[in-house]
Amino acid sequence: MNEGHRRSAVVVGAGLAGLTAATGLAAHGYAVTVLEARDRVGGRTHGIEAAPGVRVDAGAAYLGDRHTELLALAADLDLKTTPTTMLGASRFALTPDTPDSPASPDSPDRPARPARPALPDTPGAGDEPATRDGRFPPLDAVALGDLFERLTELTDAVRPEAPWLTPDAERLDALTAADWAEQHLTHPDARLFFPLFLGEMCAADPADLSVLHLAFYLRSGGGLRYLNAFAGGAQQDRIDGGAHQLCERLAEPLGARVRLGEPVRAVHQDDRSVTVHTDRGAHRADVAVLALPPLLADAIAYEPALPAPRAGDRTARGCAIKVHLVYPSPLWREHGLSGWSVNARGPLLSTVDDSPGGATPAAGIGVLTGFVTGAEAHRFGALTPERQRAEAAGQAARLFPMLPEPLGVHVTDWLDDPYSRGCYAALLGPGDWIRTGPTLTRPHRRVHWAGTETSTAFFGLMEGAVRSGHRVVAEILARA
């Protein structure tokens, strides 16, 4: 590097990881250019307007007290948090589909039934939802206890800083979570609940991820109890006004250095520089940071070629579609309900109260957020928008009979988003950790890697994205 030469960096991706890296490098004197394929910043955080002047999180939303880097960033950006409201009873509709059961109430061949006024407190006949205090489902407690004990054993054994070095890693990485469930879960209630649990935790179908990745994901996120908890857990709070504000405020001081609508096609390197090519031109710099999910990173042409791929042929997209149903107010609260539900049939496999303002919602609006995950996300995503809205509204009315027709139904499909390739994060399938884990964060000459999928702490979460941005800044400063 010539004396007097101002160091430069090209950052690919204007999500939390990329913008954390970009602002960190800029603070150390780097001339930074950020290239973003979308027409907005934010990556897998995204705010949509649920009502005039009110935005809700269509992407990543939740955080907890262990998410220290994220909380520090929010404080630096003058953003506040608001608690996720979980006061009241939960609703459960856990009658599974069977070959002999009638068509799902959400089937296109069967019209939605009128809402029933009763809220039974025990599981009833057919598919009538049950109301229970707390979040523990009305299933066999011994069977679920055994499931959680087995998952805890797997989680405790994994090496989160290097999962591929976990004892028995090759066998665990060759086995899918579906295979594991077939071998170890004998009670029908455990078999029913396991895919619902995976959908909530990591937006996964059991066939899409390895047992090693499942164990790592749970350990990386703070353990099964922490990840699954609201109060005192990873879902305790939200950013007041929406998590999308994090990236918007990070991008503000960078100004025109953030270039939107400019997807990257190729990255070429020589001994002196790296050049990042887009349809609009070429950007040359001393270093590049690629803050992309692995499936997107592998779609770029590299010269020289990568020594190892970022993804494998079994790497899957996180299967998540988020549905926001907007009502005049959170009416479920008036009936002693929290808005939380767990459902064996789709499309909404779980729901949560995401009304703005937490316990004191904004006047004139209540938001019930539904999660469509796993295999159900593929089915639901193939429907027409009209059918999607009808199915979601019909199911919400059956779960919460006091609800009127929603004022709006907003569907955000991350599974088929071309610039995310799924959400919450990539799902590492059989063999992925053994093949790609050792090179997860290893720079490729002048190319450095960021993104929540490169973080061995809080993988798949906003906290992991921010930590990866800090890590890559430290790497680059160390080589300068």
User: Domain 87-229+319-413: which topology?
Assistant: Polyamine Oxidase; Chain A, domain 2 (3.90.660)
161's tokens: 């800083």
pLDDT at 85: 81
CA distance 26 to 9: 9
End-to-end CA gap in the chain: 9
**Which pLDDT belongs to residue 116?**
31
pLDDT tens, N- to C-terminus, the chain (480 residues): 445 678 999 999 999 999 999 999 999 999 999 999 999 999 999 999 998 889 999 999 999 999 999 999 999 999 999 999 888 999 999 987 643 333 333 333 333 333 333 444 433 334 689 999 989 999 999 999 999 999 999 999 999 999 999 999 999 999 999 999 999 999 999 999 999 999 999 999 999 999 999 999 999 999 999 999 999 999 999 999 999 999 999 999 999 999 999 999 999 999 999 999 999 999 999 999 999 999 999 999 999 999 999 999 999 999 999 999 999 999 999 999 999 999 999 999 999 999 987 656 656 799 999 999 999 999 999 999 999 999 999 999 999 999 999 999 999 999 999 999 999 999 999 999 999 999 999 999 999 999 999 999 999 999 999 999 999 999 999 987
User: Residue 400's closest CA among 408, 389, 392?
Assistant: 392
**Measured between alpha carbons, how far is 145 from 330 in angstroms, rounded to an integer?**
33
Domain ranges of the chain: 8-44+242-311+435-479, 87-229+319-413
CA atoms within 13 A on the CB side of 76: 12
As assigned by CATH, the class of the 8-44+242-311+435-479 domain is: alpha beta
Q: What are the angstrom distances between the C-alpha of 310 and each of 109, 220, 256, 350?
A: 43, 19, 30, 32
Between the alpha carbon of residue 463 and those of residues 77, 175, 215, 309, the distances in Å are: 15, 28, 18, 25
Q: What is the pLDDT of residue 325?
A: 98
Task: Please give the pLDDT value at position 102.
Answer: 34
Torsion of CA 435, 159, 193, 185, to 10 degrees: 80
| Pairing outcome for strands 62-63 and 54-57 | unpaired
| pLDDT attached to residue 254 | 98
Give the CA distances from residue 123 to residues 75, 99, 126, 144, 335, in Å, rounded to whole numbers and listed in that order: 45, 21, 9, 17, 18
Q: For residue 472, which of 288, 225, 313, 229 has the smallest C-alpha distance?
A: 288
The answer, as to whether pTM is greater than 0.85, is: yes
Neighbouring C-beta atoms of residue 150, cutoff 10 Å: 15
Give the Cα separation of 459 and 425 in Å (integer): 8
pLDDT given for residue 357 in this prediction: 78
